[in-house]
Amino acid sequence: MFSKIKNTLKVTYDELMHKVTWPTWEELQSSAVVTLVTSLIFALVVFLMDSVFKNLFEQFYKLFQ
């Protein structure tokens, strides 16, 4: 059992050190900026949708008071 775990760790280490292409610092920064901007746009869209539906439901409920 321990030999399987040891082999798995060895293969994993080999994969990470010799087969994975790590991004450069510039690529990492660029990806972070894209992720940040996309997240902010998505948050803004959700906020706007929430505001619109809140106002619509308030108007709808006023009809029945």
Boundaries of every domain in the chain: 27-65
In which residue are the tokens 């992720």 written? 35
Residue 2: what pLDDT?
Answer: 87
What letter would DSSP give residue 22?
P
CA distance 60 to 33: 40
Question: Where does the pLDDT of residue 65 fall: very low under 50, low under 70, confident under 90, or very high at 90 and above?
Answer: confident
pTM: 0.64
Residue range 4-59, pLDDT digits in tens: 999 999 999 999 999 999 999 999 999 999 999 999 999 999 999 999 999 999 99
Q: How far is CA 60 from CA 2, 26, 51, 52, 63, in A?
A: 65, 51, 14, 12, 5
Above 90 in pLDDT, residue 1? Answer: no
